[in-house]
């Protein structure tokens, strides 16, 4: 992965090259994404074996630092590290949202004393991964920072689409729901742009970020625009957005009626994706979620191998050649 911009280069005194991090999809290019997806595919094959554990990252330490609740991302990173034989420690700081910046920096300094190789961080505030990157010597993986970025989600979504369609270029993806508050949507729009797929964002007017149309995706409130999509990507409708007085939409009921994904709104051949957790009957009809056209469970499986690929790529020095299949038994 490319280096994140201008982080700690000026602070670092030694000549040690800056650490590679995965903080934003914007820092990636097509070649790196293809390399990660290819690595993930190799790992998927290895997981078909009876012995699923690989010695690749033996002796390496991965710290998962979660300041926000998470089921699938936290478990997926933990299992990914374990499958690669890394030592993994998961720290959940949910509920300590009163501890803001200073404690985050202090926590980072404390963890740094253990010399972790990778810190996977999820935080409710934009910019937290950058702060931890500046404060520690570890590779940082952003597992979601506020409404900003969730790059491994976008990568696993690309992986899932590629498995389902055999290609990414030219795919039409309709992203439906609360775009404004969604880090998943932001990361995915950028990732789709890099691989030459087309994104259309569809949702209630107040939940479409102003200016989004100028960054290379279509923006509309018209749900019938999902018609031409190969993939209908449904976002979770967050109940906190429905707090009285916010008025993003008049009611959840009205949202479901106008933007909910029902079998009637889909056409044959379309697949449905959702980053989870799903609210059945709100943004997605239960019949859609459980249909054979739903790739939701496959997304979870993709998450494991993509996160294995990310950890592997960050910790094995230098770019892994695409021409040479990754030797999965190689000890990094």
Partner 1 sequence: MSLYARSAAPGTFVIRGARVLDPVEGIDSTLDVIIEKGVIVELAQPGGKAGGKPVAAEGLVLAPAFVDPHVHLRVPGREDEETIASGSAAAAAGGYCAILAMPNTDPVVDCAAVLGALVEQAQEDALVPTGFMAAISRGLAGEELTEMGELAVAGAAAFTDDGKPIRSAGLMRRALQYAGSTGRRLALHCEEPTLSHHGQMHEGIVSAELGLGGYPSVAESVAVARDLALAAYEEQPVHLMHLSTRESVELLRRALADGVRASAEATPHHLCLTDEAVRSLDTNLKMNPPLRPEEDRRALIEALKDGVISCIATDHAPHARQEKDVPFEAAPFGVTGLETAFAALHTNLVEPGLVSLETLLERMSAGPARAFCLPIPRIAIGEPANLVLLDLESSWMVVEQRFRSLSVNSWLLGQTLKGEVALTVAGGRVAFGSERIGA
Is residue 130 near partner 1 by the rule CB under 8 A? yes
Whether residue 189 contacts residue 215, with contact meaning beta carbons closer than 8 Å, is answered with yes
The question of whether 100 is a catalytic residue gets the answer yes
Identify each DSSP E strand in 17-103 by its residue range.
Answer: 61-66, 87-92
* Peptide linkage before 277 cis (omega within 30 of 0): yes
Site stretch for partner 1 (CB under 8 A), options 36-44, 45-53, 206-214, 255-263: 206-214
- Alpha-carbon gap, residue 46 to 44, rounded angstroms: 5
Residue 241 as a binder of partner 1 (CB under 8 A): the answer is no
Minimal CA–CA distance to 155: which of 37, 62, 237?
Answer: 37
Question: Residue 53, interface with partner 1 (CB under 8 A)?
Answer: no
Q: Is 147 in the site for partner 1 (CB under 8 A)?
A: yes
Token pair listed for 46: 């290895």
**Residue of the chain from 17, 18, 55, 127 that contacts partner 1 (CB under 8 A):** 127
Q: Does 265 bind partner 1 (CB under 8 A)?
A: no
CA angle 31, 27, 15 (to 5 degrees): 100
Sheet hosting strand 87-92, strand order edge to edge: 87-92, 61-66, 118-123, 139-145
Which residue among 12, 20, 72, 147 is the active-site one?
72
Q: Identify the residue among 33, 128, 158, 226 touching partner 1 (CB under 8 A).
A: 128
What whole-number distance in Å separates Cα of residue 81 and Cα of residue 305? 10
* Region binding partner 1 by CB under 8 A among candidate stretches 158-166, 208-216, 266-274, 323-331: 208-216
Task: Let me know: does 304 contact 81? Beta carbons within 8 Å.
Answer: no
Residue 77's nearest CA partner among 327, 331, 314 is 314
Q: Does 251 bind partner 1 (CB under 8 A)?
A: no
Comparison of 83 and 148: residue with beta carbon closer to partner 1: 148
Q: Judged by CB under 8 A, does residue 109 bind partner 1? A: no
Site for partner 1 in 82-101 (CB under 8 A): 100-101
From start to end of the chain, where are the E strands?
61-66, 87-92, 118-123, 139-145, 172-176, 198-202, 218-220, 231-234, 271-273
Mark 156-185 with x for binding to partner 1 (rule: CB under 8 A) and - for no binding: -------------------------x-x--
Residue 2 contacts partner 1 per CB under 8 A: no
Instruction: Check: CB of residue 161 under 8 Å from CB of residue 175.
Output: no
Site for partner 1 contains 58 (CB under 8 A): no
Q: Is 5 considered catalytic here?
A: no
Query: Binding string, 16-35, against partner 1, x = CB under 8 A?
Result: ----------x---------
Number of residues this chain uses to bind partner 1 (CB under 8 A) = 31
Nearer to partner 1, 213 or 325 (CB): 213
User: In this complex, which beta carbon is closest to partner 1, that of residue 9 or of residue 327?
Assistant: 9
**Catalytic: 122?**
yes
The 10 Å Cβ neighbour count of residue 218 is 14
Residue closest to 58 by CA, chosen among 76, 42, 81: 81
Query: Does the active-site annotation cover 73?
Result: yes
Judged by the rule CB under 8 A, the positions of this chain that interact with partner 1 are 5-6, 10, 26, 100-102, 104-105, 123, 125-128, 130-131, 145-149, 181, 183, 186, 190, 209-212, 214-215
Active site residues: 72-73, 100, 122, 150
């Amino acid at each position: 992965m490319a280096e994140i911009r201008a982080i700690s280069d000026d602070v670092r005194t030694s000549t040690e090259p800056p650490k590679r991090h995965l903080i934003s999809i914007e820092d990636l290019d097509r070649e790196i994404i293809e390399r990660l997806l290819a690595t993930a595919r190799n790992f998927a094959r290895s997981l078909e074996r009876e012995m699923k554990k690989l010695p690749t990252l033996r002796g390496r330490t991965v710290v998962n630092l979660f300041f926000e609740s998470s089921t699938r991302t936290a478990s997926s990173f933990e299992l990914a590290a374990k499958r690669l034989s890394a030592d993994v420690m998961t720290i959940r700081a949910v509920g300590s949202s009163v501890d803001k910046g200073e404690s985050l920096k202090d926590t980072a300094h404390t963890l740094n004393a253990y010399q972790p190789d990778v810190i996977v961080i999820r935080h409710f505030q934009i910019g937290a991964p950058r702060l931890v990157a500046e404060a520690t010597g570890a590779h940082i993986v952003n597992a979601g920072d506020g409404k900003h970025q969730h790059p491994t989600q976008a990568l696993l979504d690309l992986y899932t689409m590629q498995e389902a369609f055999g290609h990414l270029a030219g795919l039409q993806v309709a992203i439906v729901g609360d775009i404004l508050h969604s880090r998943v949507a932001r990361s995915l729009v950028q990732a789709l742009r890099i691989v030459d797929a087309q994104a259309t964002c569809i949702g209630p007017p107040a939940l479409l970020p102003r200016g989004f149309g100028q960054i290379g995706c279509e923006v509309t409130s018209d749900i019938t625009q999902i018609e031409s999509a190969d993939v209908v990507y449904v976002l979770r409708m967050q109940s906190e957005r429905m707090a009285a007085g916010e008025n993003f939409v008049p009611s959840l009921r009205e949202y479901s009626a106008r933007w909910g994904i029902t079998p009637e709104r889909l056409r044959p051949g379309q697949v449905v994706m959702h980053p989870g957790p799903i609210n059945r009957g709100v943004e997605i009809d239960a019949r859609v979620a459980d249909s054979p056209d739903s790739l939701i469970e496959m997304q979870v499986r993709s998450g494991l191998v993509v996160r294995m690929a990310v950890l592997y790529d960050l910790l094995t020095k230098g770019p892994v050649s695409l021409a040479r299949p990754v030797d999965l038994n190689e000890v990094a």
